[in-house]
Chains A and B, each alone.
Chain A
Amino acid sequence: MQSEKMIQSLVEHTRQFINRAEELKNYELSTLTWKENATSWSILECLEHLNLYGDFYLREIETKIKQSKTQHEAIIKSGFLGAYFAKSMLPKEKLNKMKTFKDKNPLNAQLDKGVIDKFIRQQIQLLNLLDLSKKVSLNKVKIQTSISSLIRLKLGDTFLFFVNHIVRHLQQIDRIEAAMKKV
């Protein structure tokens, strides 16, 4: 796949993430914190979960891009693990439930609209990193995962995985809204 095409597609996704978040900002706090049952997440909890991942990955990506002396490469090749991770994030038609790591679970944290502002700030940061990444190799720069420092993904795969993860949880937010309307 061409690097430029992939970056463009990720930038466009990020634009849509920000626009969706701006829309959510207009909601009442009671809507944003509504949950179907005691163990399911509210809209804000979904966003906070994404923020927790963002805190880890955006910092890691920024450090690795700035340290890198690699050159831009026009073609991006997915690694075996990277392709698997990125793909596993995308929701299937029949929802594939996933387990959340404990330190990334915001269940019942005290949350307010500041969570949405933080989410938007992270998207702006993501746009800046996508921009910076044009100067380095999306194949050779390696990013540590939050699972283990021994498991590392290519920068390109990490971006894809990271964006797909956001897609996944924004779809979860759509489902929360749908469930709320039924009540």
Chain B
Amino acid sequence: MKEIVELSEKTLTIDRNQFLKVKGSIDTNVYYVESGSLRAFVLDDFEEQTIRFGYKENILVALDSFLTGKASDLYIQAIKKTVVKVITKQQIDDFLQSETNRILWTSILENLVLQQMEREIDILTTSPKERYRRVLARSPQLFQEVPNRHIANYLRMSPETLSRLKKS
């Protein structure tokens, strides 16, 4: 991961609630979070569904746009003041010219597939308590970095249910 982050030549600072990406934009950048936190969500008819978070030392990317080069529906918004390093698709493509780097990149992508699968199981898990338990076990740090209401949305439950589960 360090090798990828080192490719960056640009740092961006965005304030709380400001957007890195909005619906309909083509954004092929990879973002490395230096400080702060972000959420990726979709929004239809004014109902938000958080898909992913990024906080200190995470990578966040609009993966659909990154892979296809096309517009994507994702919004990426800062939850608090956030500093990100920007790695462009071009920088990644240049990096992937070497065989060793391609092996490294493949392992990063494999890891991502596993994460996506965990997330898929989360969403398909019926019990709210079990959904909460899975995410807590996997990402205890998340509960330090991100306000409850966003985590509740991510877990597809009300903030009240989440705070009840946290106490029990």
Contact = CB atoms under 8 A, between A and B. Distances in A.
Interface in A5-25: 7-8, 11-12, 14-15, 18-19, 22-23, 25
Contacts of B14: 19
B18 interface: yes
Interface stretch (A74-82, A122-130, A146-154, A171-179): A122-130
Contacts of B43: 124
Given A8-B71, A124-B43, A15 B15 contact: no
A15 B25 contact: yes
A131 interface: yes
Query: How many A residues touch the partner, as a band?
Result: 10 to 19
Contacts of A121: 46
A19 B24 contact: no
Contacts of A14: 22
What secondary structure prevails in chain A residues at the interface with B? helix
Q: Which of B15, B18, B73 has the most CB of A within 10 A?
A: B18
Contacts of B71: 8, 11, 131
A7 B24 CA distance: 9
Given A8-B71, A124-B43, A15 B17 contact: no
B157 interface: no
Contact of A127 (B23, B26, B46): B23
B133 to A, nearest CB: 34
Interface string B122-156: 00000000000000000000000000000000000
Contacts of A127: 22-24
A117 B15 CA distance: 17
A18 B25 CA distance: 14
Interface string B6-17: 000000001111
A7 to B, nearest CB: 7
Contact of A11 (B15, B16, B17, B24): B24
B26 A18 contact: no
Contacts, number: 43
A26 B18 CA distance: 12
Contact of A131 (B18, B21, B23, B46): B23
B29 to A, nearest CB: 13
Q: Which of B15, B18, B22, B25 has the most CB of A within 10 A?
A: B22
Contacts of A12: 25
Interface string B21-52: 11111100000000000000001001000000
A159 to B, nearest CB: 12
A15 B22 CA distance: 6
Given A8-B25, A19-B18, A130-B24, 14 more contacts: A12-B25, A15-B19, A15-B25, A19-B19, A22-B15, A22-B17, A23-B18, A121-B46, A124-B43, A127-B22, A127-B24, A128-B23, A131-B23, A131-B71
Interface of B: 14-19, 21-26, 43, 46, 71, 73
29 contacts: A7-B24, A8-B25, A8-B26, A8-B71, A11-B22, A11-B23, A11-B24, A11-B25, A12-B25, A14-B22, A15-B19, A15-B21, A15-B22, A18-B19, A19-B14, A19-B18, A19-B19, A22-B15, A22-B17, A23-B15, A23-B18, A25-B17, A121-B46, A124-B23, A124-B43, A127-B22, A131-B23, A131-B24, A131-B71
